């Protein structure tokens, strides 16, 4: 069983969805052993508590460099034998310190059809660009911003009547359907 840690910065609906699917058995091959948040007030910390999953708030402000911050993270991961990192709304760029330690073992979900609309606000950027389709992408993490090798992506047609909130809802619906599935396939050795 692969031991994973989820990294998140905010709401945590993807975290909760993955945990729920593992509990009900529709996701398998891995466990979520730890949640790491970089924001003290992140709602995802509440969600972890409610699901009895160990969580840590690691405050980046306490470290004088990203290197030291990530070394602290690595220390916590190693202490718990974590093999794999799942990013789910983690709003921080991962540096070589973590990337070298977890080579091809960090994946992310991005709320757009990469390489379209990379960056912090994939949903807002697609909405404002008035495109007629967007999507969701799951990819390995590299040192760029949303540039790592794509594992799976799915298109979403945007209805002209949708406001931004509706688009957000539709994107999250797809995220919640595909992330646990892709993770399950990945850990069963069916990468593609």
Residues contributing to the site for ligand GRF (CB under 6 A): 8, 10-15, 88-89, 109-111, 175
Could you tell me the two tokens for 119?
């960056």
Query: Which residue lies nearer to ligand GRF by CB, 12 or 148?
Result: 12
Cβ count within 10 A of residue 124: 16
Q: Are the CB atoms for 147 and 133 separated by under 8 Å?
A: no
Task: Give the tokens for residue 161.
Answer: 């009547």
In angstroms, give the least distance from the CB of 137 to ligand GRF.
9
In the complex, least distance from residue 64 CB atom to ligand GRF, rounded to whole angstroms: 27
What span, in angstroms and rounded, lies between the C-alpha atoms of 87 and 38? 12
- In angstroms, rounded to a whole number, what is the distance separating the alpha carbons of residues 23 and 79? 24
φ and ψ at 184, to 5 degrees?
-60, -50
Q: Which residue is nearest to ligand GRF (CB)?
A: 89
Whichever of 41 and 64 has its CB closer to ligand GRF, that residue is: 41
Cβ 74 to ligand GRF shortest distance, Å: 22
Q: Is 172 a catalytic residue?
A: no
| Shortest distance (Å) from residue 96 CB to ligand GRF | 21
Structure tokens at 89: 């709304």
Q: Give yes or no for a contact between 55 and 34, defined as CB atoms under 8 angstroms apart.
A: yes
Active-site pick, 51, 110, 172, 176: 110
Torsion of Cα atoms, 59 then 55 then 186 then 157, to 10°:
-70
12 vs 180 by CB, closer to ligand GRF? 12
- CB nearer to ligand GRF: pick between 8 and 77: 8
Residues with active-site annotation: 110
């Amino acid at each position: 069983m692969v031991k994973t840690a989820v990294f998140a910065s905010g709401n945590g609906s993807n975290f909760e969805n993955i945990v729920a699917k593992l509990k009900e058995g529709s996701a398998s091959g891995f466990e979520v052993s730890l949640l790491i948040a970089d924001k003290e007030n992140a709602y995802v910390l509440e969600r972890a508590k409610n699901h009895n999953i160990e969580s840590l708030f690691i405050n980046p402000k306490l470290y004088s460099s990203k290197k030291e911050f990530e070394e602290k993270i690595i220390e916590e991961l190693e202490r718990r034998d974590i093999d794999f990192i799942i990013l789910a709304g983690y709003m921080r760029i991962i540096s070589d310190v973590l990337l070298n330690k977890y080579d091809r073992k960090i994946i992310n979900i991005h709320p757009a059809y990469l390489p379209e609309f990379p960056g912090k606000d994939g949903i807002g950027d697609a909405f404002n660009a008035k495109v007629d389709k967007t999507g969701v992408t799951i990819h390995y993490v590299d040192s760029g911003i949303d540039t790592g090798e794509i594992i799976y992506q799915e298109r979403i047609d945007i209805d002209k009547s949708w406001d931004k909130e509706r688009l957000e809802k539709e994107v999250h619906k797809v995220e919640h359907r595909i992330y646990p599935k892709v993770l399950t396939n990945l850990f069963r050795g069916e990468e593609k």
